[in-house]
Amino acid sequence: MYRTRAVVMGAGIVGCACARELALAGFDVTVVERGAAASATTAHGEGNVLVSDKGPGPELELARLSRALWPRVLAAVAERNAHAARAVEWEPKGGIVVATTDAGARELTRFAAAQRTAGVHTEDLDADALAAAEPYLTREAAAAVHYPEDAQVQPAAAAAALLTEALAAGAALRTHCEVFGAVTRGGRITAVRTSAGPLEADCFVNAAGPWAGELATRLGAPVDIRPRRGDVLVTTPLPPTVFHKVYDADYVGAVGSGAADLQTSAVVESTRAGTVLIGSSRRRVGFDDRLRPEVLSAVAATALRLFPALAAVPVMRAYGGFRPYVPDHLPVIGADPRLTGLWHAGGHEGAGIGLSVGSARLLRQLLLGEPTDMDTTPFRVDRPAVLGEHTRTTGEETA
């Protein structure tokens, strides 16, 4: 029986999730990755699976879909490979958002009320409840909201688990294989030119993360997905100090802003190894990979306002990565209207770990022409933020 051939370009968590969905649906999948699997953005972020930072709208709906899928996906992984599932370090530990000013408290209260109407589970915490939940947190909080649905994964292990599922379902993986361009016939993409020669297929999924814009240009169908730098500090392993995903209420504003200059907000979480991840910054500096002391110290200072006790804790290392950013802050999921056979799955900015499984589900449903679990119109490729801005991209993005 003929199986539809799909080439997934990029083996970050989004490409791995797409490969898994398509392979399980019976596609003949080849994943093409110019480096190693899960070695790019997916290995340079944190592992928050959040509903708490999204206001009512399509991204929240996708986050809720993904949040519902994660335990099911991981249960399926565990059936085949318990070790791979354990490595994902899935922890539904819940998130706590803290406002430290009265204005921030008003905004947080308003935001949480709107989320409740969209079905998000939230609980206001008074000072005693907050101190019980997070004993090392500042006592200066003006308001705090608990989001029990927030969870955490180890991102590279999560991508590996998804990829393992795809491979077990028959997918092939070609690493160190770069896509350079498209072979087209009559407005349809029929093959990609790669460093290992041409690769034919019936459909091609651009899952190249922050390089999705560059790859799309190579394929002749540009989309406006750009890098937005983020840096994270990692402490030495500590005794239990941070029990939830804790972030300051300013984080939501920083996520929603498109400003190019430095923005920092505190996002603090512990990992199973005992280290504490302290994020994060947002800067649009192209693919400038240099760590900047002033950025790291701004990230640290913001976190210390939430957790003064961390002042005495050694920082073991710092790292950064490039969030795949679209000017309207929504992912791009669907068919390219200009080149038949080309599909996009990307632009998840700072939420691609959490949103990967839901995005892959939607992509698979769209590819098969099935009803989708949610309205995918807001993620369509032919919206102005994706197609319009690209031609206006200038040197602003180069470091």
Ligand X SMILES: Cc1cc2nc3c(=O)[nH]c(=O)nc-3n(C[C@H](O)[C@H](O)[C@H](O)COP(=O)(O)OP(=O)(O)OC[C@H]3O[C@@H](n4cnc5c(N)ncnc54)[C@H](O)[C@@H]3O)c2cc1C
Footprint on this chain of ligand X (rule: CB under 6 A): 9-15, 32-35, 39-42, 44-48, 178-179, 207-211, 215, 230, 232, 279-280, 321-324, 346, 348-354
Closer by beta carbon to ligand X, 105 or else 386: 386
Closer by beta carbon to ligand X, 108 or else 232: 232
Instruction: Work out how close the CB of 351 gets to ligand X at its nearest, in angstroms, rounded to a whole number.
Output: 4
Closer by beta carbon to ligand X, 11 or else 171: 11
Instruction: Work out how close the CB of 257 gets to ligand X at its nearest, in angstroms, rounded to a whole number.
Output: 16
CA angle 65, 70, 76 (to 5 degrees): 130
Instruction: Work out how close the CB of 105 gets to ligand X at its nearest, in angstroms, rounded to a whole number.
Output: 24
Instruction: Work out how close the CB of 269 gets to ligand X at its nearest, in angstroms, rounded to a whole number.
Output: 8
Omega before 356 cis (within 30°)? Answer: no
Instruction: Work out how close the CB of 46 gets to ligand X at its nearest, in angstroms, rounded to a whole number.
Output: 3
Secondary structure (3-state) at 356: helix
Contact 268, 277 (CB under 8 A): yes
Secondary structure (3-state) at 244: coil
Instruction: Work out how close the CB of 326 gets to ligand X at its nearest, in angstroms, rounded to a whole number.
Output: 11
Closer by beta carbon to ligand X, 104 or else 358: 358
- Beta bridge partners, 192, equal 182, 199
Instruction: Work out how close the CB of 354 gets to ligand X at its nearest, in angstroms, rounded to a whole number.
Output: 4
The phi, psi pair for 312, rounded to 5°, reads -90, 5
Residue 169 identity = A
DSSP-derived secondary structure for 134-182:
-TTS-S--SEEEEETT-EE--HHHHHHHHHHHHHHTT-EEE-S--EEEE
Closer by beta carbon to ligand X, 105 or else 366: 366
Closer by beta carbon to ligand X, 210 or else 222: 210
Closer by beta carbon to ligand X, 124 or else 288: 288
Which two three-digit tokens encode residue 251? 């984080």
DSSP-derived secondary structure for 34-88:
SS-TT-SGGGSS--EE-STT--TTHHHHHHHHHHHHHHHHHHHHHHH-HHHHHHT
